[in-house]
A and B are shown apart, each in its own frame.
Chain A
Amino acid sequence: MKLQRKNRLRALSLGAVAVSGALALTACGSDDTGTKTGSGSSSAAAAGSIKCDGAKGQLLADGSSAQKNAIDAWVKNFSQACGVQINYKGAGSGAGVTSFNQGQIAFAGSDSALKPEEVVASKKVCKGGQGIDLPMVGGPIALGYNVPGVDNLVLDAPTLAKIFDSKIQKWNDAAIKKLNPSAKLPDLKIQAFHRSEDSGTTDNFTKYLIATTPDNWKYEGGKAWQAKGGQAASGSSGVAQGVKQNPGAIGYFELSYAKDMTTVAIATGAKTPVKPSTDSATADIAAAKVVGTGQDLALKLDYNTKAEGAYPLTLVTYEIVCDKGNKPETLPATKAFLTYLAGEDGQKVLSQNDYAPIPEEIIAKVRTTVASLS
């Protein structure tokens, strides 16, 4: 018995050592992330001239994860200036619109404009008004690739469609060679990465393929990936990770995930193929048409653009609010926050965070609309 107890003690102490070791490890782990977020937030712009206009209290918001980083940067500046707490969850566009139509949040972020039935549902929440889309954040969808020895890959829409539909299987395929006559394309299997969960990025990418090359992309589109084959990964970070890990991989994600990666320049029909950047995305959004009616500013992007320096694969995320009938307790804060977002300082924050500012002509309309919210 005594012997056993001694052993148990020894085992216990060993366990304690293991536990304290693990604790020590977690301690240095959290230190690391602490410094990282610190350095990341330093890139955010100074608060600038934010008008608070009696905004106070707390704002709840939810929606698109694509614009989460932009919102976070804005919220940081805004709450410093006005002391308003804004809680944007980023649970996804669908979840955001659902919560908005249930009256749980002050505004929603969404990758796609409200559907007609969602507008009808929003009339219950917006007394005497309806939900409207305000384009606030633009962003290029970059195509990152990992092909050893190839730095300036050029692709066009039909080739992209064939690659992501597993019709083109090798990097030295004739179609790719034709677009890249000088590149040394290896005899390597193509692994096309797409999102495994439903996503607005997938929706916008497939919308682009459907609009530009319907013959090569015969799927309906939507947030769920529909083509067969290829690799699926969870989240933009998962796709980016997959591309980095696997030679021969290509994938689509927001520009901020493409930092240490080579990206595809898209041959649009312009003189030079266009690389994704905040400027080239803004140039594309400038050609968009406002298709929303009344106060609604939903945009129709020009995926077939041939303008010089306009990157066609671009998405716009909207903030969704009521044009009339916003809740009186959150209206001042919502209005002040959106005014800041649409203002020059607010839009400047975007390009510092790898998002594309909305072009002047459209953002001016957004400003007028925000000012008229009630």
Chain B
Amino acid sequence: MDISTTTDVPPSAPRPDAGERRTARGVTRPGDRIFLALSRGSGILLLVIMAAIAVFLTYRACLAISADDGNFLTTFEWNTNTDPPVFGIAVLAFGTVVSSVVAMALALPIAVAIALFLTHYAPRRLSGPIAYVIDLLAAVPSIVYGLWGALILVPHMQGLYGWLDQFLGWTGIFAWNGGAPRAMLTVGILLAIMILPIITNVSREVFRQVPRMHEEAALALGATRWEVVRMAVLPFGRSGVISAAMLGLGRALGETMAVATVLSPSYDIQASLLDPGGGTFAQNIASKFGEASVQGRDALIASGLVLFVITLLVNGAARAIIARRKEYSGANA
């Protein structure tokens, strides 16, 4: 509050004398009132739009779910053009979560490592260009990632899949039957590349804000570089890294075209990450929307709502984690 009122003081009154400031707060000029009305209006408009969207989605989703002949949560099928329609979100929820988890597991360590390298190891001459290249990754449209994934990545995954199957196939998670590698692991790798820039950039900013004093104190105690990173930088940046990861996770959960181009979808759940099959919410909406009947569209909207709820839960969990570690969260305020 204080900050906003002081910045409202026009530059013609540069002396922030205590008495003058009080009068500046008391006087309301027309410009102030218009600005207040505009900004308040925008805020309310946002809430109204969100509420309208939520009502519309919920209404259509309710229509779909009440017409559903299967169990919306457990049916392994998506037949919305039949009468009555039969569909369920189990496969989609599983696939969405699995692909995002794989992407996070791959992207998070690499992104944090890049951010640390850029802020604490790389010479300045190198860190600028690297940061630019990472920003460029974020500018590539997802359909291009999808095409690259389908044309280049998929044919080159055979070796990795074979290796994983040979050494880790006994776990069941990495069992492979030799089909084209258009499976969850490939999707996860692609998503990892796509969310890498977001996580890297946010973490880099957080690490940059580690108080110099903390680092110097650690150095003065005889810590090595790695120890400085471990004792001063990482604890300070933890909540920031968590929010970075959540931003990335948000993109991974909702990614559409890249998944739709690379994955070979089917409506069943399997333990193996390497066998083609499964699906995600966004991918399913993209591939089913074109020929969907009115009922089918409602069903897709219902599935979209579930994705919305999942994202909400994930974000809520992240906020809870950040709130618990408030003492460090000065960085991402």
Contacts and interface: CB of A to CB of B under 8 A. Distances in A.
Contact of B132 (A18, A94, A189, A241): A18
Interface string A79-118: 0000000000001111100000000000000000000000
A14 B261 CA distance: 33
Contact of A199 (B124, B151, B264, B291): B291
Interface in B182-203: 182
A172 interface: no
B132 A249 contact: no
Contact of B290 (A15, A92, A222, A228): A92
A11 B288 contact: no
Contacts of B292: 94, 198
Nearest to B132: A15
B129 A14 contact: yes
Contact of B291 (A18, A93, A191, A220): A93
Interface stretch (A232-240, A329-337, A357-365): A232-240
Which secondary structure dominates chain A's binding surface? mixed
A224 B288 CA distance: 9
Contact of A198 (B180, B264, B266, B288): B288
A94 B292 CA distance: 7
Nearest to B293: A94
Interface residues of B, number: 35
B131 interface: yes
B180 A249 contact: yes
A233 B264 contact: yes
Contacts of A91: 290
Interface string B110-135: 00000000000000110011011100
B82 interface: yes
Given A93-B291, A198-B288, A234-B287, A11 B128 contact: yes
A231 B178 contact: no
B155 interface: yes
B3 interface: no
Given A197-B288, A198-B292, A245 B155 contact: yes
28 contacts: A7-B124, A7-B125, A14-B132, A22-B136, A93-B291, A94-B290, A94-B293, A196-B264, A196-B265, A197-B290, A198-B81, A198-B292, A222-B82, A224-B79, A226-B79, A228-B266, A231-B179, A231-B180, A231-B182, A231-B264, A232-B264, A234-B261, A238-B150, A238-B261, A241-B150, A242-B180, A242-B182, A245-B180
Interface of A: 7-8, 10-11, 14-15, 18, 22, 91-95, 189, 191, 196-199, 220, 222-224, 226, 228-229, 231-234, 238, 241-242, 245-246, 249
